[in-house]
Structure 1
């Protein structure tokens, strides 16, 4: 039987998509959570525990083999658990949708990590009010009229859409307005929230 050990900080961050997949698929895994802000991390890093990911986390141990890079981990687990579509075309489409979502998140993170203070707050609001809706409507035009973004079963793409629509942005009237013309994206996100409701209700409460 395969064994999975996922190590990350006690945050949702770069490990939450993988945790959600394990829980939806009801596949046991060891959810190793390091303190945040980091304390034990430096000691474990010095001991070479995270060398496969260039001394960073998350890191997945699969049957004793270490795999680094959060997106590589997500795709590996998605393939193992059946979340990458049912054929090569669907696999490429799942990958495409995940990259579309990542593009939107990168646009916002470029603001979050390169500005501070009042300038940061103004830039974040400007993005949400003027840009987010435009990006989401582009994504809305790509997905089919279904609760699944690819094929006829839940995929890694759907979980990425869930994170974008319901988890990534701090809830506000402006965020809701940006989503108002995206009923298909909201249906996909709500379906994931329903399927994963046991995990979402029981997971540790973290700052992000």
Structure 2
């Protein structure tokens, strides 16, 4: 089998969670970046992208699209889906919630009035999502959302708050369990390594990246 290849733009977006999961699984991978609308259309015309969309992960002889499908494949491959049917259901459910919770964070860089957008989004995120994960961590009381070891839900929650803390460094001030969760996850060796410069992590999207994505997918 060849090396895994992740197809996306050279930025965070929906692919960043996939990068984190690849790192969690210890899978070395290359990236194939889409840089122009013509490049994307050419790849679509060649039939590379099922449903004409990215991200796409080429791995184990498969071409997998749909972010959730890619994440679950990696979760099973890396043993990050829990120890039994109950845990697997919880990991899957919490992960779906984290995906939904992440949408305002993905949209933030593209909003002309970022301050107002964040003001409106933060309250909804707090009541609908942050408080939920805060309470789950209070119940488990072991630094994990499910079971007693790191699962995909932990990985993706951590990645989401890395992003939100860039938007608002005080976003977790009212959530002591989430603060403890972030601190404990940072102590995990592979997380420490992936947070260092020079990994496949992407920077917070700037205006140049926003313009490129807008030109490729929305113009």
Aligned to 2:84: 87
Aligned to 1:25: 25
Aligned to 1:47: 46
Aligned to 1:137: 131
Q: Tell whether the 8 Å contact from 2:163 to 2:204 is kept in structure 1 after alignment.
A: no
> Residue 165 of structure 1 is aligned with which of 161, 164, 189?
161
Q: Which moved more, 1:150-159 or 1:6-15?
A: 6-15
| Superposed displacement of residue 64, structure 1 | 2.3
Aligned to 1:147: 143
Aligned to 1:184: 177
| Alignment RMSD (CA, Å) | 2.7
| Superposed displacement of residue 96, structure 1 | 1.5
Question: Is it true that 1:11 corresponds to 2:47 in the alignment?
Answer: no
> Residue 101 of structure 2 is aligned with which of 96, 104, 107?
104
| Superposed displacement of residue 37, structure 1 | 5.1
| Superposed displacement of residue 163, structure 1 | 2.0
Q: Tell whether the 8 Å contact from 1:5 to 1:61 is kept in structure 2 after alignment.
A: yes
Q: Tell whether the 8 Å contact from 1:146 to 1:188 is kept in structure 2 after alignment.
A: no
Q: Tell whether the 8 Å contact from 2:111 to 2:117 is kept in structure 1 after alignment.
A: no
For residues 200 and 153 of structure 1, do their structure 2 counterparts lie closer, same or farther at Cα, with a shift above 3 Å needed? same
For this pair of structures, how many residues does the alignment match? 198
For residues 43 and 170 of structure 1, do their structure 2 counterparts lie closer, same or farther at Cα, with a shift above 3 Å needed? same
Aligned to 1:197: 192
- Using structure 1 for the length normalisation, give the TM-score: 0.80
Q: Which moved more, 1:158-167 or 1:17-26?
A: 17-26
2:183 and 2:2 map into 1 onto residues whose CA distance is: 31
2:53 and 2:44 map into 1 onto residues whose CA distance is: 8
Larger RCO of the pair (alpha carbons < 8 Å, separation 6+): 2
2:166 and 2:36 map into 1 onto residues whose CA distance is: 21
1:159 and 1:133 map into 2 onto residues whose CA distance is: 20
1:142 and 1:127 map into 2 onto residues whose CA distance is: 22
> Residue 74 of structure 2 is aligned with which of 69, 77, 88?
77
Question: Is it true that 1:63 corresponds to 2:60 in the alignment?
Answer: yes
Unaligned runs of 5+ residues in structure 2 are 206-219
| Superposed displacement of residue 91, structure 1 | 0.6
For residues 20 and 123 of structure 1, do their structure 2 counterparts lie closer, same or farther at Cα, with a shift above 3 Å needed? closer
